[in-house]
Amino acid sequence: MKRCAYLFFVATVLMPAAVTIRSNFEGGNIGRVEQLAPNHFRCHVNGEADQQHRNRQASWYYFEIDGAAGQEVTLDLVDLQGEYNFRPGNLAINGHTRPFISYDRSKWTALPDNAIEWDKIDLRLRVHLTPARSPVWIAHVPPYTTRNLAVLLAELKGNAHVVMEEIGKSAGGRNLMMLTITNPARPLVDKKVLWLMARQHAWESGTSWVMDGAVRFLAGGNPKAAKLRDSFVFKLFPMADPDGVARGGVRFNVNGYDLNRNWDTVDPKLMPEITALRKAVLDWTDGGRRIDLFLNLHNTNDDFLQGPLSLAEPDYRDLVNRLAALLKKNTFYDTKAPRDWPPGNVARGRMDACQYLFYERAIPTLLLEQSVQTNARLGRPLSSADYRRFGAQLVISMAMAVGVGK
């Protein structure tokens, strides 16, 4: 009987790895994900509503895509329609907002215009992406998390020009910080005082990058910064809603309260963030110290300055116009004519930080909104480096605008 040896060759077919999507990391957020095809996903943007279950904002997404290196992936971002100040129809994410991607969560790049399609009927943003490697992260705006802030604060330790104070705790128990930057060798009595606040709304990470750039400049070795420290005191709130930032929130604290409303109500249990921020400012002014300008940083889909132009003294209007002119001359900010506050009384519980501080203590306050869409002067969305550069330019412009006055 002959023995026959049979040699079997097994062909191995290399199948592409399954593409996965997740957001279970700090700042991450995406809702339900439906797989329509192997590389086509419908991603529902979570959004958030306030304590009254109104004013839903769908302004933030940040998630990881793994297993897609070299493959084209199609993402349909849906559930985008929201409500702003009880008016429906708000679309923070739309055909003019280009997603950012990163392969290391440090360097972020805006996708080109031809990578997105906007469906104005279904209100859907379709994104086409072929990652060069895996994983890749995608976000509405370059994220700035509590870890980024921790790195900045660690670098400031031991800096003779910087005082870091914990002014309270968030509803989730996180530290609320205030920075004071000045030259301690020069007496405070002769110095003008500028306040800057960022990140009242968690999705507005551009404001944190601006603050980061401002702080690094003011605390650093640039001769211009040294001159500013000699003549000014800078009071800075770097992150008003650390809980929202950590969880990938949008606009409201963990109890559903908008931290840029409700400044005329006192509730340290439900809104400890407002309580701490407001107390820090009022303690300063009630101690007989001056505030020459309080600037509140926010992100939206347009660049504009807004303040009480028709209510304040002429000196205030001159100050705002000077600042607007300086920003137009010295920065890429798409400066337009400053906007006045809307007419009429503010409903109880709807007063924002600028309104409260102006009405209660006659503090010269100003809102600065910065667009997350294509910057008209640069021709592209702003990168984290752009925001940082603007932060330094902003505090210089603020000082120049205030320095002209009395």
What residue type is 397 in one-letter code? S
Terminal alpha carbon distance of the chain: 113
Half-sphere exposure of 35 (CA within 13 A, CB side): 8
pTM of the shown model: 0.95
pLDDT tens digit sequence for 266-315: 999 999 999 999 999 999 999 999 999 999 999 999 999 999 999 999 99
The verdict on residue 315 lying in a domain is yes
Element (H, E) at 384: helix 384-403
| Structural domain contains residue 12 | no
Residue pLDDT, tens place only, 103-127? 999 999 999 999 999 999 999 999 9
Q: Residues 224-243: what's their mean pLDDT?
A: 98
Looking at the fold, whether 122 and 265 belong to one and the same domain comes out as no
Residue 108 located in a structural domain: yes
In a domain? residue 243: yes
Q: What is the pLDDT of residue 222?
A: 97
Strand 100-102 versus strand 136-139 pairing type: antiparallel
CATH number at residue 312: 3.40.630.10
Give the residue numbers spanning the domain of 90: 20-139
Q: Convert the pLDDT of each residue in 149-192 to its tens digit.
A: 999 999 999 999 999 999 999 999 999 999 999 999 999 988 99
Pure H helices in 145-271: 146-156, 205-219, 223-231, 242-247
- Asked, for residue 196, whether it belongs to a domain, the answer is yes
What's the pLDDT score for residue 11?
A: 36
Number of separate domains in the chain: 2
Amino acid identity for residue 153 in this structure: L
